[in-house]
């Protein structure tokens, strides 16, 4: 038998109601349609119960509006995200960040029943027109498409309004927009040679491991000494560390340790000699200069790459270093090439992820078996590997025909 709860005046309280003595307010606690705990307050019990009744009417009206297709896109998105209980917190936070930044205050206010396929196309083109990359717009599509799909399955709208939108948008824009191009051998060599400069030496081990393993930046940040078997020459990848905005929207970020998103992400990578040498150099530097990573995350510690304060590296910091090294090299290379009467080797601006793409490209150029590349890279879908193969093959086509020109067999 449940105990009857009363306030200080002896009035019986209903489920979810209580009295906050410190605030001298009555409170009603409830769970909203998105699974979040919320509260409403009032100075007296009568006022609180009037608010409860209004809340119940609003909740019913909200559902009715959604079912009739008159809810806005924002409502549909939050309903969708509430169902994704299996998402990693970092992934969910990224979805919310993308949506809040690019969709919520504009397109998100459109009513579901009034949105058309052409509206989605116009919205995506407008984002590209503002200077967003095709990759960012693709991320927007990645949250809108399943939002519309849930509404379809709920029989709120007939068709998924985002189906095929990204494909059509990519056709209209320059085909090279957003495509991640690997560095050429000459560009990669120039960047690695720049690491020999005194001001870049401390970054040398990190970048050699990045270019020599094809690991994602989150996997590099999460790499521990325990994951490296120097005797067998193997690096084990079975977790990563992401750095993402907190969900409380206070503009701070935090690290999170997690398993790879797919089973393919769990893998063993053979160490190239230059990678092994780089890791041994990092270990030697840490002993010589007396620094090491002080972070413990998710029960794991002993992380390899850290900043001078013993904290984990941040992707944005690594990208800034890449930008500085590229800028320094290009400025000097232009002057040197002019003085020496040759064409300069200009390194294009690139991000952390291009080191991974470059490593995969080098494997393809070497004629490595596609399944081996898929395994080393941790690609879930072989089509990802084959797509890079296709790009490499297209670039090598001219070279192959030049070789045939020098042969007498055709």
Report the top-level CATH class of 185-402: mainly alpha
Q: What distance in Å separates the CA atoms of residue 183 and residue 350, rounded to the nearest whole number?
A: 9
pLDDT at 322: 97
Coil, strand or helix at 19: strand
At residue 66's C-alpha, the angle toward residues 65 and 68, to 5°, is 65
pLDDT at 134: 83
pLDDT at 61: 57
Q: Where are the alpha helices (DSSP H) in 103-133?
A: 117-129
Q: What distance in Å separates the CA atoms of residue 78 and residue 84, rounded to the nearest whole number?
A: 10
At residue 220's C-alpha, the angle toward residues 374 and 276, to 5°, is 85
More confident residue, 90 or 236: 236
**pLDDT tier at 179 (50, 70, 90 boundaries)?**
low
CB 127 within 8 Å of CB 106: no
Q: For the chain, where do the domains classified as CATH 1.10.443.10 start and end?
A: 185-402
134-145: pLDDT as tens digits? 888 999 999 999
Percent of the chain with pLDDT over 90: 55
CA 318 to each of CA 55, 58, 221, 235: distance values in angstroms, whole numbers, following the listed order: 49, 48, 10, 21
Q: What distance in Å separates the CA atoms of residue 395 and residue 333, rounded to the nearest whole number?
A: 25
Q: For the chain, where do the domains classified as CATH 1.10.150.130 start and end?
A: 73-172
pLDDT at 141: 95
Coil, strand or helix at 234: strand
pLDDT at 85: 83
Sheet containing strand 17-20, edge to edge, reads 17-20, 25-31, 37-42
CB 108 within 8 Å of CB 147: no
- The answer on pLDDT for 328 being more than 80 is yes
pLDDT at 320: 96
**CA dihedral sign, ordered 110, 57, 248, 89:** negative
More confident residue, 386 or 209: 209
- The answer on pLDDT for 296 being more than 70 is yes
> Region 140-151: what's the mean pLDDT?
94
CB 291 within 8 Å of CB 305: no
pLDDT at 187: 95
Element (H, E) at 245: strand 240-245
Q: Which of 175-179, 288-292, 333-337, 362-366 comes out lowest in average pLDDT?
A: 175-179
> Region 295-311: what's the mean pLDDT?
93
206-262: pLDDT as tens digits? 999 999 999 999 999 999 999 999 999 999 999 999 887 655 555 567 888 888 877
pLDDT at 251: 52
pLDDT at 264: 85
Q: Which of 218-222, 293-297, 394-398 comes out lowest in average pLDDT?
A: 394-398
Determine the topology of domain 73-172 in CATH.
Answer: DNA polymerase; domain 1 (1.10.150)
Which of 40, 10, 38 minimizes the C-alpha distance to 26? Answer: 40
52-71: pLDDT as tens digits? 888 777 666 556 567 656 78
* Residue 57 structure tokens: 């009417």
Element (H, E) at 257: strand 253-258
- The answer on pLDDT for 354 being more than 70 is yes
């Amino acid at each position: 038998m449940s105990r009857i709860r009363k306030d200080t005046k002896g009035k019986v309280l209903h489920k979810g109601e209580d009295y906050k003595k410190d605030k001298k307010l009555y409170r009603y606690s409830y769970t909203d349609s998105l699974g979040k705990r919320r509260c409403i307050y009032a100075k007296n019990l009568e006022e609180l119960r009037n608010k409860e009744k209004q809340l119940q009417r609003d909740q019913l009206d909200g559902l009715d509006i959604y079912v009739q297709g008159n809810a806005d896109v924002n409502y549909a998105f939050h309903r969708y995200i509430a169902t994704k209980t299996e998402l990693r917190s970092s992934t969910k936070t990224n979805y919310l960040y993308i949506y809040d930044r690019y969709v919520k205050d504009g397109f998100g206010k459109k009513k579901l029943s009034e949105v058309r396929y052409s509206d989605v196309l116009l919205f995506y083109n407008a984002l590209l027109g503002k200077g967003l990359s095709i990759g960012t717009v693709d991320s927007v599509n990645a949250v809108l498409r399943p939002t519309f799909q849930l509404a379809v399955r709920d029989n709120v709208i007939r068709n998924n309004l985002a189906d095929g939108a990204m494909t059509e948008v990519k056709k209209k824009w320059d085909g090279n927009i957003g495509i991640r191009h690997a560095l050429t051998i000459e560009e990669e060599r120039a960047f690695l040679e720049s690491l020999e400069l005194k001001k870049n030496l401390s970054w040398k081990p990190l970048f050699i491991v990045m270019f020599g393993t094809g690991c994602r930046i989150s996997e590099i940040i999460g790499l521990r000494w325990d994951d490296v078997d120097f005797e067998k020459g193997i690096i084990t990848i079975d977790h990563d560390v992401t750095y993402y905005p907190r969900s409380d929207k206070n503009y701070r970020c935090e690290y999170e340790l997690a398993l790879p998103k797919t089973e393919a992400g769990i893998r063993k990578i053979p160490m190239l000699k230059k990678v092994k040498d780089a890791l041994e150099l990092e270990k030697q530097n840490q002993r010589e200069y007396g620094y090491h990573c002080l972070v413990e995350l998710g029960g794991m510690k002993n992380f390899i790459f850290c900043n001078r304060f013993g904290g984990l590296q941040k992707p944005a910091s690594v990208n800034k270093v890449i930008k500085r090294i590229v800028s320094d090299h290009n400025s000097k290379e232009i002057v040197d090439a002019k003085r020496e009467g040759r064409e300069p080797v200009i390194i294009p601006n690139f991000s952390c992820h291009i080191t991974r793409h470059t490593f995969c490209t080098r494997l393809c150029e070497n004629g490595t078996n596609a399944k081996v590349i898929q395994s080393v890279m941790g690609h879930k879908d072989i089509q990802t590997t084959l797509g890079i193969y296709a790009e490499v093959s297209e670039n090598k086509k001219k070279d192959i025909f030049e070789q045939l020109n020098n042969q007498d067999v055709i």
